[in-house]
Structure 1
Amino acid sequence: MEVKWLGHSAFQIISDNGVKLLIDPFISNNPSCSIPVEEIDADYILLTHGHSDHFGDTLEIANRTGATTIGVHEISLFVSKQGFNTIGMNIGGYIFIKDIKITMLEAKHSASIDFTDEIVDGGVACSYLIESESGKKVFHGGDTGLFSDMRTIIGEIYKPDLALIPIGGKFTMGPFEGALATNWINPKMVVPIHYNTFPPIEQDTTIFSNFVFQLNPNVEVIILNPGEQIDL
């Protein structure tokens, strides 16, 4: 399974059997992403919530590629009203797509669809646990603050191999909280996300790495540049 960071919270995951998953495709207006949106391919688009820096280019990519959008029920309704294929889910639910298991988990964040003329109800923010055909597990935290279920649910029950954790502060956890979340989840590897895209969320990843090492030296911290990937 290939896990490529496109900058901010956007990821492209290619499964063992070549299924292309795109998470939070904020591409064309993302200053940290150098890949043209026209070159982004997807079979499925997973949305953690409806804010513009996560919903991003969903409709354009879905229109060009025929990708099906996956999101919480309210986002699914919004996308389907635009004429696109969707799969609606909710917290704690899961689906199977070509032997890939996708579980929708909790996140602590606001979730309105904020880029329309009038703000639209976006349901609740979520995170995802993606389990590949070979059993490798990736947790995408979306936008979130720290909450105790990271230890008791995500860490103890789902046990991801790789965690993608926001550290930008202001709108999400910062480096210390992100490191604490990493300790609770206890993945084999962690990649910090949702930082340095804009001035209000500028962070030094060394601080995050040091906190993780102090709390849980068994977790490997991987700092990616946009466009780089991890192979699981």
Structure 2
Amino acid sequence: MESIKIVWHGHACFSLIGKKHVLIDPFLTDNPLAKVKPEDLKPDIILVTHGHSDHAEDAVKISKAAHAPVVAAFELSEILKEEGAETIDINPGGTIEYDGIRVKATMATHSSSYNGKYAGNPMGFVIDMGRKIYHAGDTGYFKDMEAIGSIDHPDIALLPIGGHYTMDVDGAFEAVKAIKPAIAMPMHYNTFDVIKADPERFKSLAGTVGTYVIIPEIEKPIEI
């Protein structure tokens, strides 16, 4: 099975690097935790879960520089296309295949706007690159996460734990119980004071149901 390197750039922004480079939720320019700049990243494809600036801020800039398509909800993809990005539209339940990478969009319980414009459905993604990785996007816990576990069988779940705008540690623990991934990683926490959270507590809770939590360090590759 092909190994994949997961690199956390802070907040909800990740690079998944195998034969191809998948970049998710590029938020670097105004991310206080970021250690790289948009121009440092050369992805083959960009996935954007929703239109809020802390997830989509650098999507157009990186798309133009890297000649990489942005996968986003229909309405958001139309907006990003107007700004010069190459886009591939999708909605929850849909699947696209691009250059050997399979991406399925899932639902998420959140909102989505881009510079004040309605940006369609918020989403998560299940990315199949030989290993299946679920990036939940910004979401609260929802019961249908059980279907993501039973139908899509992700090996790894990237889950927000910061609360306030998304689920907190306890909600993420419910997500782990529903999805049953072998590995989980926390995200969307400690970027700002309003989303302070304790990843060690999440690790302890998830361990009680057999999911191993890797707490990522910014720009330190994790090979799986």
TM-score (norm 1): 0.92
In the alignment, the residues of structure 2 paired with residue 219 and residue 64 of structure 1 have an alpha-carbon distance, to the nearest angstrom, of 38
C-alpha displacement at 1:172, in angstroms? 0.3
SS of the residue aligned with 1:28? Answer: coil
In the alignment, the residues of structure 2 paired with residue 72 and residue 79 of structure 1 have an alpha-carbon distance, to the nearest angstrom, of 10
Aligned residues: CA RMSD: 1.0
Q: 8 Å contact 1:26–1:52 — kept in the other structure? A: yes
In the alignment, the residues of structure 2 paired with residue 77 and residue 154 of structure 1 have an alpha-carbon distance, to the nearest angstrom, of 27
1:5 maps to 8
SS of the residue aligned with 1:172? Answer: coil
C-alpha displacement at 1:83, in angstroms? 2.3
2:77 maps to 76
Q: 8 Å contact 2:64–2:84 — kept in the other structure? A: no
C-alpha displacement at 1:97, in angstroms? 1.1
Q: 2:118 aligns with which of 117, 121, 130?
A: 121
Amino acid at match of 1:159: H
% same residue: 36
Aligned length: 221
1:62-101 matches, cutoff 5 A: 62-101=63-102
Which structure 1 segments of 5+ residues have no match?
A: none
1:225 maps to 217
In the alignment, the residues of structure 1 paired with residue 47 and residue 222 of structure 2 have an alpha-carbon distance, to the nearest angstrom, of 19
- The answer on 1:188 being equivalent to 2:182 is yes
In the alignment, the residues of structure 2 paired with residue 224 and residue 66 of structure 1 have an alpha-carbon distance, to the nearest angstrom, of 28
1:70-219 matches, cutoff 5 A: 70-113=71-114, 116=115, 119-132=116-129, 134=130, 136-151=131-146, 153-214=147-208, 216=209, 218-219=210-211
Which structure 2 segments of 5+ residues have no match?
A: none
Q: Structure 1, residues 45-73: CA drift from partner, whole Å, max 9, x if none?
A: 10000000000211111121111111010
Q: 8 Å contact 1:213–1:219 — kept in the other structure? A: yes
Q: Structure 1, residues 134-187: CA drift from partner, whole Å, max 9, x if none?
A: 3x1000000000100111x11111110000000000000000110110111000
In the alignment, the residues of structure 1 paired with residue 206 and residue 15 of structure 2 have an alpha-carbon distance, to the nearest angstrom, of 25
Amino acid at match of 2:39: E
Amino acid at match of 2:9: L
Q: 8 Å contact 1:180–1:212 — kept in the other structure? A: no
TM-score (norm 2): 0.96
Q: 8 Å contact 2:60–2:84 — kept in the other structure? A: no
In the alignment, the residues of structure 2 paired with residue 84 and residue 206 of structure 1 have an alpha-carbon distance, to the nearest angstrom, of 38
SS of the residue aligned with 1:104? Answer: strand
1:34-53 matches, cutoff 5 A: 34-53=35-54
In the alignment, the residues of structure 2 paired with residue 85 and residue 59 of structure 1 have an alpha-carbon distance, to the nearest angstrom, of 8
C-alpha displacement at 1:229, in angstroms? 2.4
SS of the residue aligned with 1:78? Answer: helix
Amino acid at match of 1:201: I
